[in-house]
Amino acid sequence: MKMEDDMLESVLWMAHEIQARVAELGRAISNDFDGRSFVVLGVATGAFMFVADLVRHISLPLQVDFVRVQSYGNNTKTSGVATIGTDCKIDLKDKHVIVVEDIIDTGITLAKLVNHLESKGATSVSVCVLLDKVFRRVVPLKLSGSGKCYVGFECPDYFVVGYGMDFAERFRSLPCIGVLKPEVYQQ
C-alpha cells in the first residue's frame, strides 16, 4: 500500500486487472508483428510503466525508445497544441513503429506524433494506448497503410492518475489507476 492510495477517491482499474489486459495486448502484438523488425516507442513520461510491462509480454525481438511530446496547458487539460520535445535516437526509416501511450484524450498528441513518425520514413506506424477517452476526441486517429490500433480500456471522462500517469508529477508510481479526491487539486 502506498501513501498516495489515500488520496484516491476511487480506483477504476486495480493492478491485477491492468496486468491481465497488458498481457493480452502483448500477445496480440506478438501475433501481428511476427517476422517484422519493429520499434516500441514510448511517450515519456506517462507511458514508462506501460512500456516496461508490455514489452515483457511481447515474445519477439524488438527495440525500445522514448519520445517526449510537450502539450502546453495546465495540469488536467491539454492546450490544443503539441510539439515534439525530445525525439527518439533510433533511426526509424523503414521500421515498423508501435507508439505506446498512456491515454488518448483529444487525440492531438498522437495525431502530431504519428504524422512526425511517418515523415521520418517509418514503414508503418501503429498505436497502443492503455486508455481511450473515446468521447473527448477532437482529432481522429488516422493510421496509414498497415498501421494497427490497440486499446487497453475505454476510459470514462475523469482525470485519472497512477500506472505512470501524473497530476503535477505525482502519483506515477501507483500500480493501479484511479481518480483523485477533489481536495488534492486544491492543495
Catalytic annotation, residues = 105
Looking at residues 39 to 68 of the shown chain, list those that interact with Mg ion (rule: CB under 5 A). 43, 46
- Cis preceding linkage at 45, omega within 30: yes
x/- binding map, residues 144-173, to Mg ion, per CB under 5 A? ----------------------x-------
Share in percent of the chain as helix, strand, coil (round to 5): 25, 35, 40
Question: Which position among 8, 55, 105, 117 is part of the footprint of ligand 5GP (CB under 6 A)?
Answer: 105
Which alpha helices (H) appear in the chain, and where do they start and end? 15-32, 48-55, 108-119, 182-186
Q: Verify binding: residue 78, ligand 5GP, rule CB under 6 A.
A: yes
- Given a contact cutoff of 8 angstroms between Cβ atoms, the answer to whether 154 and 162 are in contact is no
How far apart, in whole angstroms, are the C-alpha atoms of residue 144 and residue 97?
12
Q: Verify binding: residue 102, Mg ion, rule CB under 5 A.
A: yes
The residues of the shown chain that bind ligand 5GP, judged by CB under 6 A, are 46, 71, 78, 82, 101-109, 159-161, 165-166
The residues of the shown chain that bind Mg ion, judged by CB under 5 A, are 43, 46, 102, 166
